[in-house]
Structure 1
Amino acid sequence: MRTKRLSAILQNEMDDIFDPWVTGVETDSRKVSSGNVFICIRGYTVDGHKFAEDAVANGASAVISEYPLDLDVPNVVVADTKQTAGEVASVFYDHPSHRMRIYGVTGTNGKTTTATLTYDLLRLSGRRAGIVSTIGARFHNQTIETANTTPEAVVLHRILAEMVDAGVTDCVLEVSSHALMEGRVAGIHFHAAAFTNLTHDHLDYHRSMDEYARAKARLFEQVEVTNGEAIVLNAEDSASHVMAEFAPTRRAIMYSTTVDVEADVQVIWRDETVLVRMKEFKLEVPVRFMGAFNAANLAAAIGLVSTSDMALRTIVSNVPGLTLPKGRLERLATEDAEIYIDYAHTPDGLEKCLSTLQQDDRALVVVLSAAGDRDPTKRQDMGRIASRYSNEVIVTVHDVRMEDPKQIIRDLVKGIQPDVKYVTFEAREEALRHAATQALEGKRVVVVGKGHDHIERIGRQSIPFNESNILLEELKKRKGQEPAV
């Protein structure tokens, strides 16, 4: 069992009587066991300071807080427990991010896809790779479920330590703006980081697009201060200059998806192939996934992997083996109908998804939704975009939390053009069943909003909800009702 003195993990001298042995680090009082140090974190709805006594009762040997507490164990007061949590966890777990290459990926859209493509390029090239993203943590055929896109700092360092112990040499982290603002990657040493794009999202959390951009830029500042190798930036997104400003002395690798935009890495989409250009290197290879916009995600991934000193030919030779992560333009596993599931939950992501699927004269139906208690300012734009590309819009909700579903639907409908047919369903399951009937009529259907996520958040409850299973069940039921010919 890993143990350290409290003074060692705080890197401060302490009197022996106030310097207990620490057997673990926790921010959840319910998970504290004998000898753990408990760190009080202020969350959205819960303040960890209120549970310090519970942590001590469960065996905590010390408590770290932002103000003095009357406890029977050593109490260390710091200015910011979120930042301290990452630093303490890094020390306790012997700095796992210093013992492998960590690649960060941030941006509004494409984070999960870029992170997954980077992970797969590393893995297919023979590297012992790991990934921590929206779809969980994976390494050596192990999968660890995570609560957030980027887990809280203590959990993240614990996972990285497990990876190091298992021999992982390269790990990709998907890093959200929330994670950067809340210190979830504190204590992480980044080898390199990539920026995908900046579009309308999370303005319920960030007060403006400028503030949102500066939140993303914290990742590149961290690459700078930890002396990382390089930053990988989108030459076609104007926000890249903000990212570069926060890492002024790091090597910048620019990428683009057109020959008209000069860049270090160029990936040109050609439907079933991509042309990859980097310095004097040029090679055209087949691809197994849809969406011209994914050329940018692939370019960012190639840029990241190139910082690992891997030969370019080795990197590009593995592109044909790449697939998109679950819930990203994923076609439902059935020959009965053409239905896609995509995570698109922003105006930009939705437009890229629908423009890809509007391939021919076949009618396109979109199941459109928005989450409750999340940025309402993007909803009207999403309704407008859905009606521009589709023949019919099925308007519903997902993860309503505490918001009235009627209000979410009203916000989405405001953007739908008058000449476009739409129907509304307050229950997402009913919307999916209606969509299945449309697909059986020969229409191309895409369900957006949740992607890989199999949980519905209603009120304060989290309920299992697998929309792929619901769609397949309805298709089977409807086909069974069809009259014999």
Structure 2
Amino acid sequence: MLKTLQDLLTELKQLVTWTYLDNPAETMIEGISFSSKNIKQNFVFVCISGYRHDGHDYVNEAIHNGAVAIVAERPIEARVPVIYCKDTKAALAELANAFYDHPSTRLRLHGVTGTNGKTTTTALAHQLFDHVGMSAGLIGTLGITYAGKTFETPNTTPDPLTINRHLHAMVEAGVTDCMMEVSSQAIAEARIAGLEFETTSFLNLSHDHLDYHGTMETYAYTKAQLFTQLTESGCGIVNEDDPHHTLMLSMAPSAANSFLFSRQSTAADLVGHRKDEQFMLELGDEAVQSPLPFYEAYNLDNTLCAISIVLQTGVPLAEVLPHVKKLTLPSGRLERVTGIEQSVYIDYGHTPDAIKQVVTALTARYPRVLVLLSAAGERDRMKRNIMTEVVVASGADMILTVHDPRHEDPQQILDDLATGQSVEFARFDEREAAIRFFCERMDDYDCGVLFGKGHDRVERIGDAAVPFDEPALVRRFLQSPELP
């Protein structure tokens, strides 16, 4: 890609003023970065104030590496043009959209938000698009996938440069539809600013990220902002069974369409419910059925949302229906550990509601369930003891541990999990030791589930990312428990 600085400034709504800006129409820009280490010759460096570092402190390094212009939101000294903006995070998104020729307008972008189920829903929709012969991409927790390739990402919703770069590549590869998980932090930090969505979907809202948002009201309002980015001809898709669905739709453009799905209300546009081993679906006057893809109620919600998204692209229900029974859950979502006789699952669940949904599903199928419950370091402390209460209420037995402690004391995490409990639980400040103990006890149970890691294959301890393969550990301890 190659743009002039003038091309980019024309679309910079955050612009306030600039210094030393001569002949921007003749200044060629070959790239943009917010990391001084990634700056190359003829790049623009955008100063972002992050959690641990402030890009304004790395301007000299960026210039040394080839930056020809700096975007900042506070006064700095620099020997290249400085472009001052009100909000450099929003400016980064505007620059990324402009640099990559607004790729979200050149395919159908489908955003999915909700406390739980984003990864599963986007994966299921991606599978359905593939089954009906459409070229689709996917951006989310499990990476960015299109054209037979997958690229790792550090966040559920990546930074705007990564998003727009890959959307542009998808367009070039002939992708027509892209599924995107949209987190509340990504909305608040302007990572999706400027993107245009053909559909926006809302799954549910429950306790999470209150360390970031402060209140449930702010959390809900932040998620609802996704619907403001619908195109005028787009469609807002919502779960009618969640009371927050009206807030979401109220944010959509007045000309946009709406589509409601439900397992409980017969008034929704798409109604689905389980009947024995069949998934019954109703769309207007059309009533059809499919072999049940999943037993868990929450995964049927995710399936309904995925079907709803595909329907909005003009694919008829009759064409989608044969493929529903083929759907599979993504990695780390109620994933049964292979290579062992015992029924042991790993699950990414890390919110009270997600854990409740999984434990409820398992205790309905298995008489005796053992749970390994954990919480991550430097994340929402307010939800920790609520997660414990959910498991206690289910009647399942429980072991407490931690995952990704980062710089937080593991004992503090365990204390938070145990707060308010009159019963003493086995607790381990090292996850591998907890898994060993869990496996030693599995002979007394019909089923076990380990929460927290899911698909993730590293433990974040301090600043280090240590390789950590949870399914492999479970197999090792259950097959050869005497191994060190």
What CA distance in whole angstroms lies between the structure 2 residues aligned with 1:298 and 1:179?
24
- CA 1:148 to 1:480, structure 2 compared with 1: closer, same or farther past 3 Å? closer
What CA distance in whole angstroms lies between the structure 1 residues aligned with 2:86 and 2:344?
51
- CA 1:389 to 1:415, structure 2 compared with 1: closer, same or farther past 3 Å? farther
Equivalent in 410, 418, 428 of residue 415 of structure 2: 410
How many residues align? The count is 475
- CA 1:270 to 1:425, structure 2 compared with 1: closer, same or farther past 3 Å? farther
What is the identity, as a one-letter code, of the residue corresponding to 2:241? Answer: E
What CA distance in whole angstroms lies between the structure 2 residues aligned with 1:194 and 1:19?
43
Equivalent in 431, 435, 444 of residue 432 of structure 1: 435
What CA distance in whole angstroms lies between the structure 2 residues aligned with 1:74 and 1:361?
66
Task: Confirm or deny that 1:279 pairs with 2:278.
Answer: no
Alpha-carbon distance, 1:389 to partner: 2.1
Partner of 1:7 in structure 2?
6
Equivalent in 311, 316, 320 of residue 311 of structure 1: 316
Partner of 1:171 in structure 2?
178
What CA distance in whole angstroms lies between the structure 2 residues aligned with 1:17 and 1:97?
26
Partner of 1:326 in structure 2?
331
Equivalent in 244, 253, 257 of residue 251 of structure 1: 257
SS of equivalent to 1:321: coil
Task: Confirm or deny that 1:389 pairs with 2:394.
Answer: yes
Query: In 1, are the aligned partners of 2:477 and 2:483 still within 8 Å (CA)?
Result: no
After TM superposition, the structure 1 = structure 2 runs for residues 189-204 of structure 1, keeping only pairs within 5 Å, are: 189-204=196-211
Query: In 1, are the aligned partners of 2:233 and 2:257 still within 8 Å (CA)?
Result: no
Query: In 2, are the aligned partners of 1:388 and 1:417 still within 8 Å (CA)?
Result: no
Query: In 2, are the aligned partners of 1:267 and 1:298 still within 8 Å (CA)?
Result: no
- CA 1:272 to 1:47, structure 2 compared with 1: closer, same or farther past 3 Å? farther
Equivalent in 285, 293, 302 of residue 298 of structure 2: 293
What do the CA deviations read for 1:194-250 (whole angstroms, capped 9, x no partner)? Answer: 000010111101111000000101100111xx4251100111111111111211512
After TM superposition, the structure 1 = structure 2 runs for residues 91-130 of structure 1, keeping only pairs within 5 Å, are: 91-130=98-137
Equivalent in 157, 179, 189 of residue 164 of structure 2: 157
What is the identity, as a one-letter code, of the residue corresponding to 1:475? Answer: L
Partner of 2:37 in structure 1?
30
Partner of 1:473 in structure 2?
476
Query: In 1, are the aligned partners of 2:42 and 2:67 still within 8 Å (CA)?
Result: yes
Query: In 1, are the aligned partners of 2:11 and 2:95 still within 8 Å (CA)?
Result: no
Alpha-carbon distance, 1:361 to partner: 5.3
What CA distance in whole angstroms lies between the structure 1 residues aligned with 2:402 and 2:422?
19
Partner of 2:16 in structure 1?
none
Q: TM-score, normalised by structure 2?
A: 0.94
Structure 2 residue ranges without an equivalent (≥5): 13-20
Structure 1 residue ranges without an equivalent (≥5): none
Alpha-carbon distance, 1:19 to partner: 4.4
What CA distance in whole angstroms lies between the structure 1 residues aligned with 2:339 and 2:197?
41
Partner of 2:464 in structure 1?
461
What is the identity, as a one-letter code, of the residue corresponding to 1:445? Answer: G
Q: TM-score, normalised by structure 1?
A: 0.94
What CA distance in whole angstroms lies between the structure 2 residues aligned with 1:80 and 1:392?
49
What CA distance in whole angstroms lies between the structure 2 residues aligned with 1:336 and 1:28?
48
Partner of 2:194 in structure 1?
187
What is the identity, as a one-letter code, of the residue corresponding to 1:403? Answer: E
Query: In 2, are the aligned partners of 1:399 and 1:457 still within 8 Å (CA)?
Result: yes
SS of equivalent to 2:480: helix
Q: Pairwise CA RMSD of aligned residues?
A: 1.9
